[in-house]
């Protein structure tokens, strides 16, 4: 059996005690972004599980898009990532 080595930690412990691993992240072919998937990517980047550059490359995100998600979570929490809440949290 071959185990692929990856750069960076295999998982991190979040502030609330939950464990986040690369297996918890959305698949690279994701095209439909719901709030929970966006939140998982933001948590992974903010906790150091993956660098922002890798996240942008893996999910084909622009720097502005990822930074917008990060700012929305920092200011208003994960609920701000819902499409229906965009007008409320601007």
Q: What is the pLDDT of residue 60?
A: 96
| pLDDT string in tens for the chain (90-residue length) | 656 666 667 888 888 899 999 999 999 999 999 999 999 999 999 999 999 999 999 999 999 999 999 999 999 999 999 877 656 665
Q: What is the pLDDT of residue 62?
A: 96
Q: What is the pLDDT of residue 57?
A: 96
Q: What is the pLDDT of residue 89?
A: 60
Q: What is the pLDDT of residue 29?
A: 94
Residue pointed to by tokens 């998937």? 37
Q: What is the CATH number of domain 34-90?
A: 1.10.10.10
Distance CA 5, CA 76 (A): 36
Task: Calculate the dihedral angle through the C-alpha atoms of 12, 31, 61, 9, rounding to the nearest 10 degrees.
Answer: 20
pTM of the model: 0.84
Instruction: Give the pair of three-digit tokens for residue 37.
Output: 């998937």
């Amino acid at each position: 059996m071959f185990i692929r080595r990856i750069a960076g930690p295999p998982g991190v412990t979040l502030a609330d005690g939950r464990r986040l691993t690369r297996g918890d992240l959305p698949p690279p072919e994701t095209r439909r972004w719901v709030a929970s998937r966006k939140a998982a990517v933001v948590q992974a980047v903010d906790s150091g599980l993956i660098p922002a550059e890798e996240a942008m490359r893996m999910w084909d995100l622009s720097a502005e898009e990822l930074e917008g998600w990060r700012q929305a979570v920092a200011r208003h929490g994960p609920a701000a990532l819902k499409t229906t809440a965009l007008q409320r949290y601007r």
